[in-house]
Structure 1
Amino acid sequence: MCFIDSTSIKVCHNSRIPRHKTFAGMAERSRGTMGWYFGFKLHIVINHKGKIIAVKVTPANKHDIAPVEELIQNLTDALYGDNGIPVVS
């Protein structure tokens, strides 16, 4: 049994986006549960024991479904996710 979810990684405050240079061209702007942010998304798959199975970092504007195929290509167990990700058996 495996679980998949994602979380935001904010790289700067919204008011500093035009001046931000460290992740220029890599980080993107997106809306999360806490409002708009500039950064990335961390996608992670863990098993029922909490062991990390797969990890991927994408720009914030990528949908949660985008990296799922890559993350689960060698997965043989049932996969459970939230409303953003369909359940795969």
Structure 2
Amino acid sequence: MTLSDKILLRKRSVIETVNDELKNMCQVEHSRHRSIGNFITNLLSGLIAYSFFDKKPSLNFQYALNTNQITIFD
């Protein structure tokens, strides 16, 4: 496995953790909404609830000054 693949695999675990918290704690899951407004209301209320959590996983990254590239640190 290459180094870049190993780094991306670590980032995937962070993304899976966030998805798990949204589905289980914030109750954002697929349900049969009768309208798009109800779907958006459900999604936004889950994201707002997630924003109030004290501990959230994060990625450490910085932008390079003279370029538009992102540098990710582990």
TM-score by length of structure 1 reads 0.24
Choose between structure 1 and 2: higher strand proportion.
1
Return the structure number with greater relative CO, CA threshold 8 A, min gap 6.
Answer: 1
Instruction: Give me the TM-score of the superposition, normalised by structure 2.
Output: 0.26
Q: Determine which structure has more spread, i.e. the larger CA radius of gyration.
A: 2
